[in-house]
Amino acid sequence: MQQRATRRAALATLRRAYARAPLAVRLHVLGRFLSCPMLPVLERLPGRGRLLDLGAGHGAFALLAVASEAVDSAVALEPDHRKLLACASVREPRLRFVAGYTDAVRGRLAAASVIDVLYRLPIDGWDAFLTAARDALEPGGLLLLKEIDPTHRLKAAWNRLQERGADLLGLTLGDAFSYEAPPEMTRRLSRLGFAEVEIVELGGWYPHAHVLYVARNK
Ligand SMILES: C[S@@+](CC[C@H](N)C(=O)[O-])C[C@H]1O[C@@H](n2cnc3c(N)ncnc32)[C@H](O)[C@@H]1O
């Protein structure tokens, strides 16, 4: 019951915030919210400090993070200017949209989120990306990395089909479709200096094998 109320509240927040955005953006944001388990990721946020959402897209996750007071403020960092321009009407004083890649990352943050972004980068770029996120975190700061687990074969096939469609439509910036199995990703995060790496399966009844890595900067 509580979960349904939270979901309804999140949908209402998104509806209000994107009310003046183009219809295509409103539908995209709704589709992302319905197809990606954002609420259980939000629940992990520290309830204070600043969040950096890397590859934030239209900023729905960062917006929900401030609206639900899961953080005090958020920066939605996104390299695709089309997405940022389409969000020009979104007004939330605790949320700032910034155009850029990880080289724009600065600061001492309580949390960094990376939601369905790594898969668009070639695997040999992942270490640099995750290191930039780590360096922006305060000691003990939280990394929330949402990925797709490629070891679920049926769900992976569905995912590949969708990727082809998204590429044909040119919906998302990026050069790759790369995935890594949870044990390898856990080793990668530990090797890069993250501690307390936890794997949380969020796929459930979703058609995608969502997996969340929760880790802390040492
Ligand atoms: C599938 S979308 C996810 C967007 C958002 N995180 C969400 O959950 O709705 C992937 C995003 O990653 C962004 N992206 C692609 N390459 C990137 C890079 N090198 N650095 C940061 N973001 C990148 C894309 O522009 C796109 O907005």
Whether pLDDT at 70 is above 90? yes
Mutate which of 117, 126, 210 for ligand 1 pocket (most atoms within 8 A of beta carbon): 117
Domain extent, residue 145, equals: 2-217
Whether pLDDT at 190 is above 60? yes
Whether pLDDT at 187 is above 60? yes
Atom of ligand 1 nearest to the CA of 36: 8
Whether pLDDT at 98 is above 80? yes
Whether pLDDT at 105 is above 80? yes
pLDDT in tens, 141-172: 999 999 999 998 888 888 778 777 777 776 66
The 3-class SS string of the chain reads CHHHHHHHHHHHHHHHHCCCCCHHHHHHHHHHHHHCCHHHHHCCCCCCCEEEEECCCCCHHHHHHHHCCCCCEEEEEECCHHHHHHCCCCCCCCEEEEECCHHHCCCCEEEEEEECCHHHCCHHHHHHHHHHHHHCEEEEEEEEEEEECCCCHHHHHHHHHHHHHHHHHCCCCCCCCCCCCHHHHHHHHHHCCEEEEEEEECCCCCCCCEEEEEEEEC
Whether pLDDT at 140 is above 70? yes
Q: Which protein residue's CA is at the shortest distance from atom 19 of ligand 1? A: 101
pLDDT at 176: 72
201: domain CATH number is 3.40.50.150
pLDDT at 1: 52
Q: Is the pTM of this model over 0.85?
A: yes
Number of domains observed in the structure of the chain: 1
pLDDT in tens, 5-64: 799 999 999 999 999 999 999 999 999 999 999 999 999 999 999 999 999 999 999 999
pLDDT at 166: 73
Cα of 133 to ligand 1 centre, how many Å?
14
